[in-house]
Amino acid sequence: MKNYHVAIVGATGAVGAELLRVLERRSFPVASLRALSSARSAGKSVLFRGESIKVEELDENSFAKIDIAFFSAGGDVSRKFVPIARNAGAISIDNTSAFRIEPDVPLVIPEINGEDVKQHRGVIANPNCTTAVALMALYPLHRAFGVKRVFAASYQAVSGSGQRAIDELREQVAASAQDRQSTPQVYPHQIAFNVLPHVDTFLETGYTKEEMKFQNEGRKIMHLPEFRASITCVRVPVYRAHSVAVSAEFEREVSVEQAHEVLAKAPGLELVDQPNKSRYPMPLTVAGKDNCEVGRVRIDCAFDNGLSFWVSGDQLLKGAALNAVQIAELL
């Protein structure tokens, strides 16, 4: 097996740190690893396979002799440096929204549309974290019953906003316990002991960009241009792992028993559905797990041929780092 020269852009961030752990844990064949970041973090060190690697400042010469470059440093960075990496001969796996809807850029969840990797022209996009978690359960049901439309609400952990948001929640919890004030920096309001129906920026329609990603990315990943989805994305005071409550309408009649059979066999997904025993997916049980979990499966009382279900998944793993490494494994 060939070994690959790998670069991680945003190596000191929450997703970058997880990428390092996933590459090591899954024994990805790394010949060399280059950790890249902004000037602010350059000079720090990251640990990989027991070796301390100095973080370098990202510049136009960072991709010489690199085979695969993982990007997780924000859309502006990706828009500037992904073309540079491609011109240097590297294949970029981008965790931002910069290229997801570009027609010539595959948007890939390996368990769903891994074959699309073959169409890459030097760039492969990683989907939005909420989209990835939800589709892990929705797509197997679509294959069996044909999804038409979805109504959903997300319960998104602060890890989706990066390390600063994780630190902010931790500080606000501590401040509350000490009966002192802590001014929000990352979010417009306090997130501790609160929920914010506000993820990403608002559009003229009243939806946010995050909410539209679910429909637009879902259409591309599932190869389903008529797919419709209305979702409200909510930030909750959870450190890690997203959850989504989904109500889906299908073309064909579906029963709970049939849905259980389909979901139990789906790759990367675990069926946890014994509500009478208080067994259902929760952020605490999926945090740090590769697989997503699905439960609370029931006939939707507002749809014909409808199902409601609840799915949880680790935002930093299946929603970001793990999915990106799985794409690299396909390559």
Distance CA 90, CA 4 (A): 10
- Identify each DSSP E strand in the chain by its residue range: 4-9, 30-37, 45-48, 51-54, 56-57, 68-71, 91-94, 123-125, 147-156, 228-235, 242-250, 269-271, 292-299, 306-313
* Active site (catalytic) residues: 129, 242
Average model confidence (pLDDT) for the chain? 96
Predicted TM-score of the model (pTM): 0.94
The phi and psi torsions of 212 (rounded to 5 degrees) equal -75, -25
pLDDT value for 39: 85
Domains of the chain: 4-126+321-330 (3.40.50.720), 131-315 (3.30.360.10)
Average pLDDT of span 298-303 = 96
Across the range 237-252, mean pLDDT stands at 97
- Reading the block at residue 184, the tokens are 């929000």
* 82-123 pLDDT, tens digit each: 999 999 999 999 999 999 999 999 999 999 999 999 999 999
Tell which residue, 77, 38, 28, 87, has the closest CA to residue 58.
Answer: 38
Is it the case that residue 1 has pLDDT exceeding 90?
no
Task: Report which of residues 138 and 163 the model is more confident about.
Answer: 138
Structure tokens at 264: 């139990």
Q: How far apart are CA 239 and CA 159, in angstroms?
A: 6
